[in-house]
Amino acid sequence: MDLFIAPAYAQAGAAPQGGGMELIFMLLMFGLIFYFMIYRPQAKRVKQHRELIASVAKGDEVLMNGGMVGRISKISDDKDFMVLSLADSVEVMVQKSAVTAVLPKGTMKSL
């Protein structure tokens, strides 16, 4: 029977264990990848959005998250809300954080 199937023999011993340095190095590499590919770009976007919200002023034409385009008619500095004029007689109160972009002057008339 040994002609077709090779006999199985027990191994001499367990393979030597790797040191802890490889594990530490791998965890450090994963931490660096996480920082540069996920955390840093997201923090940059949050900072730009905070600067955008701080720079809006009365009379600016803005694009909101929901797709509304309007002109800012009143801003409250102490609160987180502003009044957005969508048309001559239509005003809506929205959160400042919902602003996506500040549009160039005259955009509402061209739409």
- pLDDT tens digit sequence for 37-56: 999 999 999 999 999 999 99
pLDDT at 1 over 90: no
Q: Which class is 22-110 in CATH?
A: mainly beta
**Phi and psi (nearest 5°) for 102?**
-95, 125
Average pLDDT, the chain: 88
Q: What is the pLDDT of residue 61?
A: 95
User: What is the distance of C-alpha 35 from the center of its chain?
Assistant: 13
Q: Which two tokens stand for residue 21?
A: 């340095």
Q: Tokens for 31?
A: 């931490």
Give the whole-angstrom CA distance, residue 80 versus residue 53.
Answer: 10
d(CA 12, CA 108): 81
pLDDT at residue 110 greater than cutoff 90: no
Q: Residue ranges of the domains in the chain?
A: 22-110
